[in-house]
Amino acid sequence: MRGPAGFQRLTIFGMNLVLCFFISVILLWVIQGQNPGAPILTPAAVLLSFVTSFVVGYTWSDLVPAFAWGLKLARALRLEKSRLGTHIVLSATLGVCMGLGIDFLCSFINNFGAQGWAGVIAFFASMAPYIVGSAIVLVLIFLIPVQAAAKAISGFDPAQAPPPPG
């Protein structure tokens, strides 16, 4: 887990731990509020939701270059000299990409077999505002500390690396 690849893996791992835990709790809390008598927000449900969303989120974040997209957007908005501006754009891009990806894929896993596409789309659409909003806020709060931990563990500092071509 050393070098640039280790830094990237550790950042993806750490952010997915944070996002998937909090999103699982928030999602189940929202559903519990809509069904006050049902035992929905339970430790077992949080664990199951976390494991499912973590596997989905880690895979999704490895396949979708959301971080690169966020940096490209920050450059297009001419924010590369503003650490705060870049962080906000990155957080929004990562939150939207990760939130929508996790929401849709978990909606598919949990609803397609019993309810078909109608159930997938209905659940996805109803939870998207909660999940995406939460993901953006969580990335805003946790990206910098997670990257600091990844930097310490991997020994790689992206600020010291040469800029990517193009």
DSSP-derived secondary structure for 14-59: HHHHHHHHHHHHHHHHHHHHHSTTS--S-HHHHHHHHHHHHHHHHH
What does the pLDDT read at residue 81? 86
Domain parsing of the chain, residue ranges = 3-33+41-156
| Residues of the chain where predicted confidence (pLDDT) is lower than 70 | 161-166
What does the pLDDT read at residue 105? 95
Whole-angstrom Cα distance, residue 86 to residue 138? 16
What does the pLDDT read at residue 4? 81
Length of the chain: 166
pTM of the model: 0.86
Whole-angstrom Cα distance, residue 20 to residue 116? 24
What does the pLDDT read at residue 99? 93
What does the pLDDT read at residue 7? 87
Whole-angstrom Cα distance, residue 64 to residue 92? 15
What does the pLDDT read at residue 42? 94
What does the pLDDT read at residue 2? 84
